[in-house]
Structure 1
Amino acid sequence: MSGRRRAIAAVAALGLLASVLAAQAGCSRVLQVPVAPIGLGVTVAANGQVGGIYPELMRHVASGEGCDLHFTVVPRARQELMFESGLADILLPARRSPRRDQYGVFVPLFQSRAALVSLDRGAARPPLPELQSLADLQQHHELRLAVVRGYDYGEAYQSLLAAMAAQGRLQQATDPISLVRMLDAGLADLAIVAPTIVTGALRGDARLKDWLPRVQVSTVEELGWGESGVYLSNRSKLGVADRQVLEAGLVQLAKSGAAWREFQRYYPEDSLRLSVRPR
């Protein structure tokens, strides 16, 4: 299917889903949704308009349920803190984790995985050693790691961050673009992040598109596939009925295949192979 036909099919499927759900009751109040830029998953225009894959999916579900969303743009770490403290009704996008399960109900939409991401260093700096595991990374004491503050890719990831921080080898960025700039400036040698976040961020910034061919990706066993989607808060003032309505809409969205088609509309299929796949 061509990109244009796929885009038309995705829009039609989302529109049909919204119309099917439109007859149901609306939410009891405006829902608070803080977001942070994350590649093409969440974008923020110069005028502050929030877009991207996850906000558009959430808007379709909310409009079908008669719910209103209020998006605010914050750093990712603050977004997580607002979710944990009950100031956010919805956390998106989010990979499922035991810590986040304490604060909300998770609705899976895709499967995703993080990887080791670096930039081609050219002739000015020696190439990076080939790493087979996170243990390899720890043993190469000359290597420095960069991550985005607030991201969570599971227990192995969190254990690595603690070890690297204790050794003074960890750099934390506020967003994906800052992460890539750290790599380019030599402040870190490689990053752990979902590759689509990096390529999406570069594609969305006209000043940095030329860096795309420099992106290098390698996967390791400890950073396996996990569920990604949306959390609905159980700590905020989001009522049980509202949460159940939104959960049902998101589940139907995933089952319809519209969520995956929306991802394909934004990304070339070959760029999804290593880091995102349908459930």
Structure 2
Amino acid sequence: MPAFYSSKLIRLIALSCSALCLSAELHAECSRVINVPVSATGLSVITAGEKIHGIFPDLLRRLGEKNACSFAFTSVPKARVAAMFEAGNSDMMLASIKTPRRDEFGIFFPMVSIRATLISIATSRPAISNFKDVLKQSDMHLILVRGFDYGPEYQRLIDELNKQARVSFESEPLSVARLLKLRPTSATIMAPSIFTGELQADSRVEDMLGKLRFEPLDELAWSYSGSYLSKTALTQADREKLAKMLEQAGQSGEAWRAYQKVYSPEVVKISIRPLSAQ
């Protein structure tokens, strides 16, 4: 065979092998079922007995069907979700805010930008715009979700409120909503999308919709909300495959469009943005 044709044949075989290898990589299955503990988080994650759905689980299931990956969702308290992830006992953490502590244990993939605010029953009290104002409001008790973390300044606020016996914790956002209904002078801090999502999903607190006051605080800036992949629980191959799935989902804006469909324009305007607006 002439050297010219031999060289062309070798290059053709090499290109064909490369294409086959790329195809195999793109369509490779996850090596096992991916373990995803979750807790109720507004309409982002809805837990109803053994049924788990919402924006993030539904998105993950669609991605799994396209990419030959299966996910096992289990419902646990919010604080336990974080503890399991940090201990390397779960593969993913959904509907999470990016924080320095969580970055130690996982790789973060943003889906939307989100902002937490002070949330209370609307009254004629003076406006609150920062943590200093919260501390000055001596008759205000904060009811927070154990396991929610909005950064170092948020943690320092909790420390100060603890010293004044002005903070308590609940395991889920719904419990916070029910207590806030009973104690109108109290308040909470979380993303309005999470809080109003709980109200929309539960008739016991649904009547609070339209009676709330959302106050952005200087120390609570816009941050990313998305999913973490464990640095230790997953194999490198599974982590890389899941990373590609999550990157594509974030870039597509699918989660942002889902938020727009289920939340009121008021809630979207004050607390949710597409990644492109960050």
Please indicate the TM-score interval, normalised by the length of the shorter structure: 0.7 to 0.9
The structure having more radius of gyration, on CA atoms, is 2
Closer, same or farther: CA 143–208 of 1 in aligned 2, 3 Å: closer
1:243 maps to what in 2? 239
Q: Which residue of 2 aligns with 1:58?
A: 60
Q: C-alpha separation between the residues in 1 aligned to 2:259 and 2:239?
A: 24
- Percent of counterpart pairs with the same letter? 38
Match of 2:112 in 1: 110
Q: Distance in 2 between matches of 1:185 and 1:206?
A: 15
Bigger relative contact order (CA 8 A; separation at least 6): 1
CA contact (8 A) 1:177 1:201 kept: yes
2:197 equivalent to 1:200: yes
Structure 1-normalised TM-score? 0.86
What count of residue pairs does the alignment treat as equivalent?
253
Q: 1:258 aligns with which of 234, 238, 254?
A: 254
Q: Which runs of 5+ in 2 are unaligned?
A: 1-22
Determine the structure 2 residue equivalent to 1:7: none
Question: Structure 1 stretches of 5 or more lacking a match?
Answer: 1-19, 122-126
Aligned counterparts of 1:153 and 1:140: Cα–Cα separation in 2: 21
Shift of 1:188: 6.1
State the Cα distance separating 1:277 from its structure 2 match.
0.5
Matches within 5 A, 1:213-228: 213-228=210-225
Q: Which residue of 2 aligns with 1:99?
A: 101
Please give the alpha-carbon distance, in whole angstroms, between the structure 1 residues aligned to 2:24 and 2:258. Answer: 19
Equivalent of 1:135, from 128, 132, 135?
132
Q: Residue 233 of structure 1 corresponds to which residue in structure 2? A: 230
Distance 1:128 1:161 in 2: 22
Q: CA deviation at 1:129?
A: 3.2
Give the aligned residue type for 2:215: S
Counterpart check, 1:155 vs 2:152: yes
- Using the TM superposition, give the Cα deviation of residue 206 of structure 1 relative to its aligned residue in structure 2, in angstroms: 2.3
1:110 and 1:228 in contact (8 A); partners too: yes
- Asked if structure 2 preserves the Cα contact closer than 8 Å seen for 1:62 and 1:69, the reply is yes
The 2-side partners of 1:103 and 1:65 are apart by 25
Letter in 1 for 2:90: A
Deviation at 1:120, TM superposition (A): 3.3
Q: Tell me which residue corresponds to 2:207.
A: 210
1:273 to 257, 269, 272: 269
Q: Is the 8 A contact 1:171 1:188 kept in 2?
A: no
CA distance in 2, matches of 1:154, 1:90: 20
Partner of 1:82: 84
